[in-house]
Amino acid sequence: MQDFPISYIEPVFRPPSEAHSLILPVTNGCSWNKCTFCEMYTQEQKKFRARDEAQVLDEIRLTGEKMIVQRVFLADGDALVLPTRRLLSILQAIREHMPEVERVSSYCLPRNLRKKSVDELKELADAGLRMAYVGCESGDEEVLARVNKGETYESSLSALDKLGQAGITRSVMILNGLGGTSLSEQHADNSARLMNESQPEFLSTLVVSFPTGEARFREGFADFRPLGQQQLFVEVERLLQRLELRDTVFRSDHASNYLVLKGTLGADKQRLLAQVRQAIEQPQQARLRQEWQRGL
């Protein structure tokens, strides 16, 4: 749109559940940008930088004059890397110029919260930040190290706990297949342990994929053997079996998944397990997505 007040540097990513949100870039790229499975921000124009604060505030004001907005997603890869003061001024501007906004959300890396206290996060929550999407990917130290995630079980847990204490809804992603065949079991076991300890409000699994090739990934994981479709299901089954969640919305409906699962854990645990078992034993009856439907 020619006179749209917000300028974007493509490509821009958002979680599937933010399809109807205003995407507001407050940073460009990802401040870490070293996970070997991720190509989201590797193009030159996506090199990390914080966007100019005055420009962002102007865009908020101008957008508020033109349209009614109910949801805002702060882009790019880890908007919560910004200092609390700057985030507060963005949230306050959203409240002032887009008074209908009910929810502001953002991606968040555990490392973004190392220097942020629970009290600071509470201030952000009070100013409108409702939800953080945290790509934990795995709870297993070895998998995290092999893929250069730059996080550990403890750093992930600490971030999830801080967000929880601040009242910010946590939506966690775990990557099915990230440990390949050799680390599949410990990946499932320790990811379940991380989720059980942190009890996030939302959990989704995505299937690891390499649309632009595996070369970068194999630099740190030379003996990686990808899981076949059935092995991916066995890993999800193992994860689900070990999850002891009290009230978590579980989804595996991202385009990368062969098997779409939706439910609330723990209430729907047995039903979800039965669906996965059927996909393992009778894949032709399990309504799996075909390769061409996976939209990678």
Binding of ligand SF4 by 144 (CB under 6 A): no
The answer to whether 9 and 28 are in contact (CB under 8 A) is yes
Binding of ligand SF4 by 152 (CB under 6 A): no
CA 211 – CA 294 distance, rounded (Å):
12
Dig out the tokens for 267 from the structure.
Answer: 């209430």
Show the site string, 41-60: x = touches ligand SF4 by CB under 6 A, - = not.
Answer: x-------------------
Binding of ligand SF4 by 35 (CB under 6 A): yes
Of 140, 74, 81, residue with least CA distance to 105:
74
Which pairing describes strands 202-207 and 248-252: parallel, antiparallel, or unpaired? parallel
How many positions of this chain bind ligand SF4 (CB under 6 A)?
11
Judged by CB under 6 A, the residue of 26, 30, 174, 279 near ligand SF4 is 30
CA 104 – CA 169 distance, rounded (Å):
11
Collapsing DSSP to helix, strand or coil, 143 comes out as helix
Q: Which stretch binds ligand SF4 (CB under 6 A): 31-39, 53-61, 183-191, 236-244?
A: 31-39
CA 136 – CA 57 distance, rounded (Å):
30
The answer to whether 276 and 261 are in contact (CB under 8 A) is yes
Query: Min. distance of Cβ 114 from ligand SF4 in angstroms?
Result: 14
Binding of ligand SF4 by 25 (CB under 6 A): no
Which pairing describes strands 103-108 and 129-137: parallel, antiparallel, or unpaired? parallel
Which residue, 78 or 120, has its beta carbon nearer to ligand SF4? 78
Which residues lie below 8 Å from residue 126, measured CB to CB, with a gap of 6+?
A: none
By CB under 6 A, what part of segment 118-137 binds ligand SF4? 135
Q: What residues form DSSP beta bridges with 149?
A: none
Query: Min. distance of Cβ 118 from ligand SF4 in angstroms?
Result: 22
Binding of ligand SF4 by 75 (CB under 6 A): no
Binding of ligand SF4 by 110 (CB under 6 A): no
Q: In what order do the strands lie in the sheet with 71-75?
A: 22-25, 71-75, 103-108, 129-137, 169-176, 202-207, 248-252, 261-265
Binding of ligand SF4 by 207 (CB under 6 A): no
Binding of ligand SF4 by 38 (CB under 6 A): yes
Collapsing DSSP to helix, strand or coil, 204 comes out as strand
Q: Which stretch binds ligand SF4 (CB under 6 A): 32-40, 84-92, 223-231, 270-278?
A: 32-40
Judged by CB under 6 A, the residue of 9, 17, 33, 62 near ligand SF4 is 33
Q: Which stretch binds ligand SF4 (CB under 6 A): 37-45, 59-67, 214-222, 285-293?
A: 37-45
Binding of ligand SF4 by 93 (CB under 6 A): no
Binding of ligand SF4 by 40 (CB under 6 A): yes
The answer to whether 294 and 256 are in contact (CB under 8 A) is yes
Binding of ligand SF4 by 32 (CB under 6 A): yes
Which residue, 113 or 280, has its beta carbon nearer to ligand SF4? 113
CA 106 – CA 127 distance, rounded (Å):
14
Task: List interacting residues with ligand SF4 (CB under 6 A).
Answer: 30, 32-35, 38, 40-41, 77, 109, 135
